[in-house]
Structure 1
Amino acid sequence: MKTMQQWYDDYAVSHQNETNQKIHYICVPAIFFSIVGMLMSIPTGFLNQISGLEAPLWINWASFLMLLLLIFYLRLSFAVFLRMLGFCVLCLYGNFYLGQIAPLFITSLIIFVVAWIGQFYGHKVEGKKPSFFKDLQFLLIGPAWVFEKLSR
Structure 2
Amino acid sequence: MKNLVEHLSQYADYHRDPRNIASHFIGIPMIVVAVAALLSRPQWPVAGLGISPAVLLAVVAALFYLRLERALGLLMTVLLGLSVWLGQILAAQSTPVWLASGIGLFVIGWVIQFVGHYYEGRKPAFVDDLSGLIVGPLFVVAELLFLLGLRQGLKHEIEARVGAVRLREKNVSA
TM over 0.5: yes
> Which stretches in structure 2 are left out of the alignment for 5+ residues?
147-174
The alignment of Structure 1 onto Structure 2 pairs a total of residues equal to: 144
Residues 5-58 of structure 1: CA distance to partner in whole angstroms, max 9, x if unpaired? 111111111101111110011111111111001000x223xx33xx253x44xx
- Are 2:134 and 1:135 equivalent residues in the alignment? no
**Quick one: which amino acid aligns to residue 72 of structure 1?**
F
TM-fit CA distance, 1:151: 1.4
Residues 59-111 of structure 1: CA distance to partner in whole angstroms, max 9, x if unpaired? 22211111111111111111221111111111122223334556223201100
2:74 maps to which of 49, 72, 82: 82
Corresponding residue for residue 101 of structure 2: 107
- Checking the alignment, whether the CA contact within 8 Å between 2:38 and 2:91 is kept in structure 1 is no
- Are 2:63 and 1:64 equivalent residues in the alignment? no
Map 1:1-152; keep pairs closer than 5 Å.
Answer: 1-40=1-40, 42-44=41-43, 47-48=44-45, 51-53=46-48, 55-56=49-50, 59-100=51-92, 103-152=97-146
Which structure features the higher share of helix residues?
1
Q: Distance in 2 between matches of 1:52 and 1:76?
A: 30
Q: Distance in 2 between matches of 1:105 and 1:36?
A: 12
Q: Distance in 1 between matches of 2:66 and 2:83?
A: 18
> Which stretches in structure 1 are left out of the alignment for 5+ residues?
none
- Checking the alignment, whether the CA contact within 8 Å between 2:36 and 2:88 is kept in structure 1 is no
**Quick one: which amino acid aligns to residue 129 of structure 1?**
K
TM-fit CA distance, 1:147: 0.3
In terms of Rg, which structure is larger?
2
What is the percent sequence identity of the aligned residues? 31
